[in-house]
Structure 1
Amino acid sequence: MNPGILLPMLLVLLAGGMIALQAPTNVMLAKAGGSPVLAALISFAVGTATLLGVWLASGNRPAPSAFGALPWYAWIGGVYGAVYVGVAAFAAPRIGLASLITIGIAGQVAMALWLDHIGALGLPREPVSLARAGGALLVIAGVVLVRRG
C-alpha cells in the first residue's frame, strides 16, 4: 500500500465513525426541540462555528475573486449535508442507527460510482467495472443483512 494514502484513509475512517455519532446526538436535539430540522440547524451552527475557528487559526485568506468563476453548483454542497443531517435525525429512531448508516453508505457508493463513471464535477472519469459494481452489490447485501439481523 502506498504510505502516502495511509493517513487520509485513517482520517476518513475516523470521520466515518463520527458520522455514526452525529445521528444519535442529533436525535437527542430533535427530541428536545421537537424537530429534526431544528436539530440539523443546531448541528450546522455548531459545525459552522467550529470550522470558522479552525479556518481563522489556519491563516488561509484567499482573495474573494478566487470564488468568482465558480459555477453555481459549487455553492450548494452544504445543502446535501443539511438534508442528510435532517433525514438522519428523523430516520435513526425509526429504522435504527445501523440501518441508517448502511443504507446511507449504499446511497453514497451508488452516487460515487455514477459520478466517477461520467467524470462529473471535475472528477477524473473512472468507468464502472465488473469489480466496482460487485463491490457496490456487496454493500447492498450488507444493508439487507443489517436490516434482517
Structure 2
Amino acid sequence: MWFLYALTVVAGLANAIQPGQNATLAKSLGLPITAGLITLLVSTTALLVGGFATGKLVVPNAQQITAVPWWAWAGGLLSVLLILAQLYASPAIGAASFLGIIVTVGVCASIAFDHFGLIGFPVHPASLWRVLGAVLMVVGVGLVAVF
C-alpha cells in the first residue's frame, strides 16, 4: 500500500511540473495545439513501452469492451482539456494559482462523486469535516491567487 501513496506523491509532483513543461513547449514552438499533440504522443509512447516492457499491454476482447460504461471512454477527452488548460491558462495565471485551482476543484468535485457514488467510486459520505476541508482549500486558493 505504501507504494501507492508514494506513486501518488510523485504524480502530484508531476502535476505541478507538467504545466510549465507543456507551456514552455508551446511557447518555444509557437504552436500550442501541436505542443499538446506532442505531449499526448509522448504519453502514448511511454505507456506502450512500459506496457510492452512489463508484459501488461493486452488488447481487450469484445466482451471487455462492451462491459465498459459509455462515459468511461471520455477520459481521453478530459486529458485533452487538462493539457489545453496547461498550455493556455497556466502561463497566464501562474503555477501556484493554476495548480491550486486544479487540485481544489478536483477535491470539491471528488467529495460529491464520493458522496453519491458517481463515476465508479464507492459511496463515501460528505461529512462536515470533508466539506470544511474543501471550503478551507477554496479560501487558500483564493489567498494564493490574490497575493
Q: Output the TM-score relative to the length of structure 1.
A: 0.90
Q: Distance in 1 between matches of 2:113 and 2:14?
A: 24
Indicate the residue corresponding to 2:65 in structure 1. Answer: 67
* Distance change in 2, residues 1:62/1:106 (3 Å): same
Q: How does 1:25-40 map to 2 (within 5 A)?
A: 25-40=21-36
Indicate the residue corresponding to 2:54 in structure 1. Answer: 58
Residue of structure 1 aligned with 2:4, choices 5, 8, 17? 8
Unaligned runs of 5+ in 2: none
SS at structure 2 position matched to 1:56:
helix
Q: Distance in 1 between matches of 2:127 and 2:78?
A: 27
Indicate the residue corresponding to 1:98 in structure 2. Answer: 96
CA apart distance, 1:62:
5.1
Say if 1:27 and 1:93, in contact at 8 Å, map to a contact too. yes
Number of corresponding residues: 145
Q: Distance in 1 between matches of 2:24 and 2:140?
A: 27
Indicate the residue corresponding to 1:126 in structure 2. Answer: 124
Q: Which amino acid aligns with 2:48?
A: L
Q: Distance in 2 between matches of 1:37 and 1:31?
A: 11
Q: Distance in 2 between matches of 1:93 and 1:122?
A: 33
CA apart distance, 1:37:
2.4
CA apart distance, 1:59:
1.3
CA apart distance, 1:63:
4.0
Q: Distance in 1 between matches of 2:115 and 2:92?
A: 34
Q: Distance in 2 between matches of 1:29 and 1:112?
A: 30
Q: Which amino acid aligns with 1:72?
A: W
Say if 1:39 and 1:86, in contact at 8 Å, map to a contact too. no
Unaligned runs of 5+ in 1: none
Indicate the residue corresponding to 2:85 in structure 1. Answer: 87
2:37 paired with 1:41: yes
Residue of structure 2 aligned with 1:17, choices 5, 13, 25? 13
